[in-house]
Amino acid sequence: MRIALVGIGKIALDQHVPALADSPDWDLAATVSRSGSVPGVDAFTDIDAMLKAHPDVGTVSLCLPPVPRFDAAVQVLRAGRHLMLEKPPGATLSEVHVLADLARAQGVTIFASWHSRMAHGVAAAKAWLAGKTVHKGRIIWREDIRKWHPGQDWILAAGGMGVFDPGINALSILTEILPAPVHLRTAELDVPANRQAPIAARLNLSQDITADLDFRQEGPQTWDIELQTDAGHLALRMGGNLLEVDGTRVDGQDSIMGEYPALYARMAGLVRDGASDLDLAPMVLVADAFTLGQRTTVDPFDF
């Protein structure tokens, strides 16, 4: 199947392009970007021009930042093409509901792709937790914004989500593996004096689960989820790629490179089945954090 990739930035070049190059399901036929491109692939700077030039492209994958994504997504769906959305699927919940209704009306697939759910240890963690009771848990998700988003001012602007851009990955795993739904109780958001989005956050969730999210960690990065249950202690490390039970490694790999190939395999299956997957549970928790969050102004931040 032929696919177009819109938004040729860091995440597209690091993850999407290699995943598509190795995929048995997809042929990358076109790209759309203001400045980026992929060697040997037809490049455009306008989505509408690409859609008109490539009626053979049945699917479009959007890797744009959240705020400009909606208008591009509407163009794709109105053209009758299947749509894959990089996380988060939109800047607001309401616009994603609009996209879901439009996809349904057009009879095409829409997929909100939570890449961390495809991490190597997640499925095994979900299976182990099935039928168990979670008594307590903690998420520690700390990484270096300058390493993963160098110079990307949009991520700390209104709509950019700030630390929830990576933090939503942890929440996507949590909402996938827990045997019972989770909801937000309280939140604290640290917002730099010269920015609009939080650079750090602390969440208190039901089931006595806490989350410590920070975009300022230098050196080794930390992406851990630990849950204490009635049958023992489960830990997912390295962003969900390593699973430990009672301190013993039982599943996973020392790599994050399998997530995007798995996403594109999932998208291929949805298109073939005429189905959609638009789970918004992780985004609901983030929206609730912005609604309930107690804001503290912290030191200005500059790249």
The residues that are catalytic are 87
Query: What residues form DSSP beta bridges with 227?
Result: 137, 234
Interhelix angle 281-292/164-177, rounded to 10 degrees, is 130
* Residue 70, helix vs strand vs coil: helix
> Rounded to 10 degrees, what is the CA torsion of 23, 26, 29, 32?
-80
- DSSP letter assigned to residue 277: B
* End-to-end alpha carbon distance in the chain: 40
Query: What residues form DSSP beta bridges with 203?
Result: 187, 211
DSSP string, 151-202: T-GGGGSTTS-TTHHHHHHHHHHHHHH-SS---EEEEEEEEETT-SS-SEEE
H or E segment and range at residue 227: strand 222-229
Q: Which residues make Cβ contacts (< 8 Å) with residue 238, sequence separation at least 6?
A: 119, 223, 252, 254, 256
